[in-house]
Structure 1
Amino acid sequence: MPIKSLDYAYDHDVKNKNAIFPAVDLAEKISLISAEQKNVQAKRNEVLVLLRDALGNGRAEVRKRFDEKASGTMVVRANCFLVDQILKFVFRFVDEELYPVGVPSKGESITVVAVGGYGRGELAPQSDVDLLFLMPYKKVPRTEQVVEAMLYFLWDLHFKVGHSVRNVKECIRGSQSDLTINTSILEARYLCGEPSLFTKLRKTYDRVVRSGNGAAFIEQKLAERSERHKKVGGSRYILEPNIKEGKGGLRDLHTLFWIAKFIYQVDDISSLVKKGIFTRQEIRQFEKSQAFLWSLRCALHYLTNRPEERLSFDVQSDLANWMHYTDHAGTKGVERMMKHYFIVAKAVGGLTRIFCATLEAEHNRRSGFRLPLPFLKRKRAVEKFRLEGDRLTLKDVDSIEKSPIEMLRIFHVAQKHDLDIHPAALRKITQNLRLIKKELRESEAASRLFLSILTSPKDPEKSLRRLNESGVLARLIPDFGKVEALMQFNMYHHYTVDEHTLFSIGVLHQVEKGLLKKEAPIASEVIHKIISRKVLYVAMFLHDIAKGRKGDHSVEGAKIALRVCPRMGLTPEETETVSWLVRYHLTMSETAFSRDIDDPKTIQDFSEIVQSPERLRLLLVLTVADIRSVGPNVWNAWKASLLRDLYWRTEELLSGGLAAEGQERRVQVAWEELTKVLSDWSPKDIAEHLERGTVSYWISTDTETQHRHANLILKAEKSKSPYTADVRVDHYRQITEVTIYAADHPGLFSRVAGALAVSGASIEGATIHTLRNGMALDSFYIADAHSKGAINDTDRLETIATAIEQSLTGELKAAKLLKTLPTRLPSRVHKALKVKPRVLIDNKASASYTVIEVNGQDRPGLLYHLTQALTKLGLLVHSARIATYGVRAVDVFYVQSALGDKVSSEQKLKTIQKKLLEVLKV
């Protein structure tokens, strides 16, 4: 029997359907094959070739339209149309040509149903085709033959098919026990086969599964959503988001659709306007968000040629180019595209919040925000706002129009009384953001309310996040609006600028509440000595306000602070301090992590910037909160210890402690303290040891360290060993310290660095002392290259010690072995994020050393190659500070010439710069 021409009218948005799938022509060709070809297998093969060509041509046509900038919505609808047509042809051919039956019995009937995204009528380029083969009762031989033949046909067409074979009872039973099956049946769509069977499924599902189970379905779907968010990252502002499963992604929009379909029996989200759930403006936002996300997802599938759902760094630039995002005003095109994505994700979050809160109110369930306070049971109003349940809402429908400041005041009252805000009030606020104008921004009352929210002891992060989500914050402080959803295209910052800022205020609040005493003990103590906490919180809010603009964001941010703070009601003195903090908010971390804080000149220079103990305290707390809110695992005990040491030494200098004592006196004090703890040493051994150390050694190390070094040196001297090492875990700083006592020679640092790199260790810092007896006393502070934690496994520590010894004796060839080491981050990230090599040489930062700062792409053994180059240049490394920010390595070396002085020759300095740049560019 010839296959009849198929009319298809599933989606009217797909234009010129015949160009995608010429159904009539194909039907005629298959009819000819059926008439002329008698061999069933040969007939199947010929039909397969026809359908394969039709599928390929159809996909090419859809891709062509997409490349011509048709929307992603068109792609998923057109792909769905194309696959529908192919499936119907396959079913007809299998049913009528391969396994024909005159009049099938009731048990032999079968229905093919589209489920999943395909059931919704949405099919991305690389998505699976999910099918349900529906039977009336149990399987019979013919239905098994039809299902098997169809699957083989589809596999031969290279479809990725997800399928199930069930009868109606099994579908209903599965829907009652499994949320995934329930959702698939909810959005099931009839394709072909016996239509009455599908009708029976729908009616039974509505009667048994859907009826009376709305509240349970909502609860299950919201729990599923929360679990999904946890798996792919809890924030919608992570910089490599999953655009399907992530917070604010397509799946969140699907969840709204599923709940709406289950509860209200609607097939289109726009139907919720009549139900009073969404306004027309919100429906437009839903459709715009979905269209953007679909375009992004389709482009991602086409670019990667796989079902990729994550906007990883290596594809973001290509996507931005395809979508015509260009660099503008100091912001890269890729950052502008990602900002658009995050704004859409935020909008999806707003729609979800309004939708879910309305459903909760309808089903008389309490909000998940908190349990109601006892006094709320007796009150219907709080500070001129009404209470609906345990949610705060506006007293009158026109109260915002009469007094726009109510948009800010409701957040203040909600924070004060630990209340959630009713979705109706949030919707009203969002619809009236235009009323937040210059007059309101500059009003004293608005400034007072905002400062009260920002500096409140009741979790300011949560309230500021609400303000940000509602759009009020960006309108109230336009400069903050410019960093809203702004990403930074690097691997160091894990969140958008606004999200990072809100996190940092949350961390500040935690420090103040004493919740981080273990992780940040000094900051937790110091914060209570700060005179103006208002200054601290405002500076934290403004510290990254100029990100994404031309110029240094610290300098530009300080200018913005001078303009914004008076408007917030700060005094001239407070304004100046906030501006100073914004200007120098990176200085403390840069000094601690990239400079030798054992060098008196480093402390002197930093003290000249800070100038007062109050500013030092402010800067420490702000720095800690800033670093801890960059992302997971960025803060660690090693960084904490460096900041602590810098704080203590600067505080001592500012209070006159260091200035009061000269070098000779400080050396004398060090000798006296060490002599006390060396009570088991002979006077002769003590005298010899004290003569070995240099002035810089005695001044820069503490008594405990000197004691350990003394015992190590005595052991080496008595055993006449050419090389002695001590490996210990510093639990306080959560770092592993490797101390080496060996004959000093050029390249010692480089050889040790190579051995450590080969052993999978990362050098975080190093201090090199050349003693008066010509021996080197070098300390390397190392961590695991991947986890960045201390290395404390005994076997591994022995392996490291052996590698160092073999490197020093020449047995270990580090250069060769390093070529085989994998990079710390995926190669795709290194390819996408290029760091421009830079070498800075400073002869003013230290009184005794030339300071060389190297910036470049991080890679295994980079430190080894850099120090090897320094050795070949005839330079002696005194100390090093090693830091990594995502893929960017920042290594700082304090060096001297072979004669023991600074490098002053301009020609020599140029040669150093040239050679180090060559290393970075390899």
Structure 2
Amino acid sequence: MTERVEETAGPGGVPGPHTDPGATPAPAPEGGYPAARLRLLQDDAPTGPDRRAALARLTDDWLTALLAGAASASGVHGAALVAVGGYGRGELSPRSDLDLLLLHDGRADPGAVAALADRLWYPVWDLGLDLDHSVRTPAEARTAAREDLKVQLGLLDARHLAGDPELTAALRTAAYADWRESAPKRLPELHEMCQERAERQGELQYLLEPDLKESRGGLRDATALRAVAASWLADAPRGGLEAARTRLLDTRDALHLVTGRATDRLSLQEQPQVADALGLLDADTLLRQTYESARTISYAADVTWREVGRVLRARSVKPMLRGLLPGRGAAKGERSPLAEGVVELDGEAVLARTARPERDPVLVLRAAAAAAQAGLPLAVHAIRRCARAAADLPVPWPAEAREQLITLLGAGAHTVPVWESLEAEGVITQLLPDWERVRCRPQRNPVHTWTVDRHLVETAVRASALTRRVHRPDLLLIAALLHDIGKGWPGDHSVAGETIARDMATRLGFDARDVAVIATLVRHHLLLIETATRRDLDDPETVGAVADAVGSAGTLELLHALTEADALATGPAAWSAWRGGLVADLVKRVGAQLAGEAVPEGRPTDEPTAEQERLAIEAARTGGPVLALRTRDEAPVGEHATESGDGPEPVGVELLIAVPDQPGVLAAAAGVLALHRLTVRAADLGTVDPIGEGPVLLLSWRVAAEYGSLPQAVRLRADLVRALDGSLDIPARLAERERAYARRSRAVLAPPPRVTVAPGTSRTATVIEVRAQDAHGLLHRIGRALEEAGVSVRSAHISTLGSNAVDAFYVTDTKGAPLPADQSAALVRGVQSALE
């Protein structure tokens, strides 16, 4: 017997054109179907929908001929071959599977039906094509659809291929009738399926390697929207929806052709070739176009499911309660005032009957602010009416418009859906033309969770929770919205952003003094976090440089809040209690200098903590390394302890190492950690002389186990002793591991490492900055390069953000002086060479 399996729904939903049942199949092309298929896929002339339709027609003719021969051989005549899913709509991507249903009237002998199916399926399998197939009577197909939502969705795309057309027509009619009858019960199930898939696969519009089909905003969601439309209960906003679906299909076609595989995952290494196949400028252009398509589908889904919910709620309540809606408790049809010209109606913010957007250019911002403050969606028809009828705001904006924008940004998490609705309808770029350059712009740094535009909105959301800490919340919110606006332009985004922010703030109607503050915040939005994590805060030049850049205590206060909001909106790897403490320490010192007070000193490098002092004394007395592995609460870590976590803190274990000063300590310690699969998230290196008998190096590491349990401190110490005396060949061991790792993993596309001298950051040392992809043994290689250059590492500040390492090393010559220019240049070349 032929195996009976469920057919699956493909992308789409509304059935395509029927094959003419009376038509004679086209004669097989020269070389048969395989050769004709290959020629079609190698032909560059048909693209997109034309290629998919041509491939479907070619496959139709082949399967029609197969059924004719199989029916004759098996003696089964009451049967029909039906395409479902994407194939049912007449769309076939190069590596799409074939979704086929063999219908029969149930009168033929089961053995004959099985023989008929075998004569159909085996030629498909022989060509290496993937096949989703089933063999059913119409009654069995309807029963399967009632039991499995995916089967029911697939039947909505049923298209007759060959055989008895009346069987297909009857099934299609029944399938649509069943769907419309069961939709009130099945649509919630479909919605839940979409939500579960979104949680599993993520949002396509923000993923660096999105799944074009399964991610939220992908082809599956487009299928769901078509199914909702077929239910006659609700319909999606049609503006741009079909074009967005077509672009995703075109991208998937190119992905299939580039990879030669049936994949929907747009991986990083394949994006350049896919972009080239589509005739796009580069991979970023491809991602941006993909994100725009996904955003269109996601927005349509949000609006559609909201409408479905409203319809189903109205149908589900008892007659005497039919007027009641959940949420704010307003009666159905009753309007509750929210702001001038804005009311709540049926759970949405809509325009009042008396509203006149053609006379009130601020109305759209007022409606958006009112909706966000009330935690309500802003009705699509309200946005469209304002966008269509309202006059442009004067420049500079009137005070009310600026205040409504700030109110919208200050609404917290409710800001996001309202902003997205405005953006989907083109209002944001109408109000803020410079927004177009960051809209849907990808960020290839994996530390970032969002695209540039969504990150800006998320930063404003985070900043709204910090407005009680600052004297000018309005400036904080606007700076949060604009801090990365320069990423749409070439060059340093902070420098470009300063100019753009100055223009935009002027456009919004801020006075010259406020414009200058906003521009300063945008220009220096990375200053505090970079200085705190990469510079020696005990160096007077560090505090002085920050004070000069900030200029005033009020701006410093705003910059502190912006720094935290920006990091929190970036992703979990960008902020932690440790980083927050470093930034707060820097702000305290800079604040004192700006106030003309004595700068509070941190603990000098020659004044260790009690724990460090104990270790340093023991190291000085024994002449060997001493280690302590501790959690953040200073409790000793046992052999089987694992990383502890509280919130976004990326690391949970501190490793303290004290060792008498000698060449190669940094490289040896880093190599031992790499051998034990400990990931270094942050580190500091300093020198003390605890008993006056020579310097002792103190290394404070924040580490996490890549997997498994943490090693015992005694094992780490034993390997460090061997590394320092030369009996442990760390480079060889790391190279062996790297070769094994390379065999098991895919290559990571990453920009090349960058090694530079940071000028003007210290009078007493040369600061070497290293930015590179984090990798096994990276810090060990840097340490060896510094050792081979014959320089002394006075202090080091190691920071890992996601997969990116950003390290700073304060180095001197053998006499303790900064390096001359030629030696600095040679050192940079040496470290760069070690990392390439």
Q: TM-score, normalised by structure 1?
A: 0.78
The verdict on how the C-alpha distance between 1:747 and 1:223 changes in structure 2, with shifts beyond 3 A counting, is same
User: Do residues 779 (structure 1) and 699 (structure 2) align?
Assistant: yes
Deviates more, 1:641-650 or 1:79-88: 641-650
Quote the residue 1:478 is aligned against: 433
Quote the residue 2:612 is aligned against: 709
The verdict on how the C-alpha distance between 1:444 and 1:725 changes in structure 2, with shifts beyond 3 A counting, is closer
User: Do residues 909 (structure 1) and 811 (structure 2) align?
Assistant: no
Quote the residue 2:402 is aligned against: 447
Quote the residue 1:697 is aligned against: 606
Offset from partner CA, 1:759-808 (integer Å, 9 cap, x none): 11233212131534224232131323658xxx9x4545554344323322
The verdict on how the C-alpha distance between 1:142 and 1:459 changes in structure 2, with shifts beyond 3 A counting, is closer
Amino acid at match of 1:81: R
Distance 1:339 1:864 in 2: 38
Quote the residue 1:297 is aligned against: 252
- Counterparts of 1:862-881 in structure 2 under 5 Å? 862-881=778-797
Quote the residue 2:35 is aligned against: 57
User: Do residues 347 (structure 1) and 296 (structure 2) align?
Assistant: yes
Note the C-alpha offset of 1:360: 4.5
Which secondary structure state, in structure 1, belongs to the residue aligned with residue 776 of structure 2? coil
Amino acid at match of 2:132: G
Which secondary structure state, in structure 1, belongs to the residue aligned with residue 570 of structure 2? coil
Instruction: Indicate conservation of the 8 Å contact 2:556/2:591, yes or no.
Output: yes
The verdict on how the C-alpha distance between 1:381 and 1:726 changes in structure 2, with shifts beyond 3 A counting, is closer
Quote the residue 1:246 is aligned against: 215
Instruction: Indicate conservation of the 8 Å contact 2:438/2:453, yes or no.
Output: yes
User: Do residues 181 (structure 1) and 151 (structure 2) align?
Assistant: yes
How many pairs were matched up?
A: 789
Quote the residue 2:629 is aligned against: 727
Distance 2:586 2:445 in 1: 28
Quote the residue 1:753 is aligned against: 670
Which residue among 257, 278, 285 is the counterpart of 2:240?
285
Quote the residue 2:7 is aligned against: none
Which secondary structure state, in structure 2, belongs to the residue aligned with residue 302 of structure 1? helix
Offset from partner CA, 1:712-746 (integer Å, 9 cap, x none): 2444466x353322222224974433223333211
Which residue among 817, 820, 825 is the counterpart of 2:733?
817
Note the C-alpha offset of 1:115: 2.0
Quote the residue 1:500 is aligned against: 455
Distance 1:629 1:184 in 2: 40
Amino acid at match of 2:213: K
Which residue among 93, 113, 120 is the counterpart of 1:143?
113
User: Do residues 889 (structure 1) and 802 (structure 2) align?
Assistant: no
Instruction: Indicate conservation of the 8 Å contact 1:239/1:494, yes or no.
Output: no
- Counterparts of 1:139-178 in structure 2 under 5 Å? 140-178=110-148
Which secondary structure state, in structure 1, belongs to the residue aligned with residue 439 of structure 2? coil
Which secondary structure state, in structure 2, belongs to the residue aligned with residue 242 of structure 1? coil
Quote the residue 1:47 is aligned against: none
Instruction: Indicate conservation of the 8 Å contact 2:17/2:159, yes or no.
Output: no
Which structure has the highest helix share of the two? Answer: 1
Instruction: Indicate conservation of the 8 Å contact 1:744/1:770, yes or no.
Output: no
Which residue among 79, 82, 90 is the counterpart of 2:55?
79
Instruction: Indicate conservation of the 8 Å contact 1:492/1:886, yes or no.
Output: yes
Instruction: Indicate conservation of the 8 Å contact 1:507/1:628, yes or no.
Output: yes
The verdict on how the C-alpha distance between 1:843 and 1:414 changes in structure 2, with shifts beyond 3 A counting, is closer
Note the C-alpha offset of 1:500: 0.7
Offset from partner CA, 1:450-479 (integer Å, 9 cap, x none): 223223478434433333233211210111
Note the C-alpha offset of 1:655: 5.1
Q: TM-score, normalised by structure 2?
A: 0.86
Amino acid at match of 2:36: G
Which secondary structure state, in structure 1, belongs to the residue aligned with residue 371 of structure 2? helix
Quote the residue 2:640 is aligned against: none
Amino acid at match of 2:394: E
Which secondary structure state, in structure 2, belongs to the residue aligned with residue 419 of structure 1? coil
Quote the residue 1:424 is aligned against: 381
Offset from partner CA, 1:631-682 (integer Å, 9 cap, x none): 3444334433332333344345545664488xxxx9xxx8xxxxxxxxxxxx
Quote the residue 2:6 is aligned against: none
Offset from partner CA, 1:696-720 (integer Å, 9 cap, x none): 412xx4xxx2x112322444466x3
Amino acid at match of 1:428: R
- Counterparts of 1:85-484 in structure 2 under 5 Å? 85-97=61-73, 99=74, 101=75, 104=76, 109-137=78-106, 140-207=110-177, 209-234=178-203, 236-263=205-232, 277=235, 283=238, 285-326=240-281, 333-363=282-312, 365=314, 371-374=326-329, 379-380=334-335, 382=337, 383-385=340-342, 387-395=344-352, 399-429=356-386, 432=388, 435=390, 437=392, 439=394, 442-456=397-411, 459-484=414-439
Which residue among 574, 589, 592 is the counterpart of 2:514?
574
Amino acid at match of 2:765: Y
Which secondary structure state, in structure 2, belongs to the residue aligned with residue 485 of structure 1? coil
Which secondary structure state, in structure 2, belongs to the residue aligned with residue 212 of structure 1? helix
Note the C-alpha offset of 1:300: 0.9
Which residue among 545, 554, 557 is the counterpart of 2:494?
554
Distance 1:714 1:884 in 2: 30
Deviates more, 1:439-448 or 1:147-156: 439-448
The verdict on how the C-alpha distance between 1:830 and 1:620 changes in structure 2, with shifts beyond 3 A counting, is farther
Unaligned runs of 5+ in 1: 1-9, 15-20, 28-49, 265-274, 327-332, 513-526, 671-694
Instruction: Indicate conservation of the 8 Å contact 2:543/2:586, yes or no.
Output: yes
The verdict on how the C-alpha distance between 1:387 and 1:914 changes in structure 2, with shifts beyond 3 A counting, is closer
Offset from partner CA, 1:204-252 (integer Å, 9 cap, x none): 4345x23432222322222222222111114633332222222222222
Quote the residue 2:476 is aligned against: 536
Instruction: Indicate conservation of the 8 Å contact 1:393/1:421, yes or no.
Output: yes
Deviates more, 1:243-252 or 1:865-874: 243-252
Instruction: Indicate conservation of the 8 Å contact 2:204/2:210, yes or no.
Output: no
Q: Percent sequence identity over matched residues?
A: 27
Note the C-alpha offset of 1:541: 0.8
Note the C-alpha offset of 1:290: 2.3
Distance 2:768 2:571 in 1: 28
The verdict on how the C-alpha distance between 1:427 and 1:222 changes in structure 2, with shifts beyond 3 A counting, is farther
Amino acid at match of 1:391: E
Which secondary structure state, in structure 1, belongs to the residue aligned with residue 429 of structure 2? helix
The verdict on how the C-alpha distance between 1:203 and 1:571 changes in structure 2, with shifts beyond 3 A counting, is closer
Amino acid at match of 1:747: G
RMSD of equivalent CA atoms = 3.4
Which residue among 528, 536, 540 is the counterpart of 1:596?
536
Note the C-alpha offset of 1:114: 1.6
Instruction: Indicate conservation of the 8 Å contact 2:375/2:414, yes or no.
Output: no
The verdict on how the C-alpha distance between 1:660 and 1:334 changes in structure 2, with shifts beyond 3 A counting, is closer
The verdict on how the C-alpha distance between 1:402 and 1:713 changes in structure 2, with shifts beyond 3 A counting, is closer
Unaligned runs of 5+ in 2: 1-14, 317-324, 635-648
Amino acid at match of 2:380: P
Deviates more, 1:729-738 or 1:306-315: 729-738
Amino acid at match of 1:915: G
Amino acid at match of 2:117: V
- Counterparts of 1:594-633 in structure 2 under 5 Å? 594-633=534-573
Instruction: Indicate conservation of the 8 Å contact 1:215/1:363, yes or no.
Output: yes
Distance 1:416 1:903 in 2: 57
Note the C-alpha offset of 1:888: 4.2
Deviates more, 1:385-394 or 1:818-827: 818-827
The verdict on how the C-alpha distance between 1:54 and 1:396 changes in structure 2, with shifts beyond 3 A counting, is farther
Instruction: Indicate conservation of the 8 Å contact 1:841/1:853, yes or no.
Output: yes
Amino acid at match of 1:752: A
Distance 1:323 1:398 in 2: 46
Which secondary structure state, in structure 1, belongs to the residue aligned with residue 28 of structure 2? helix
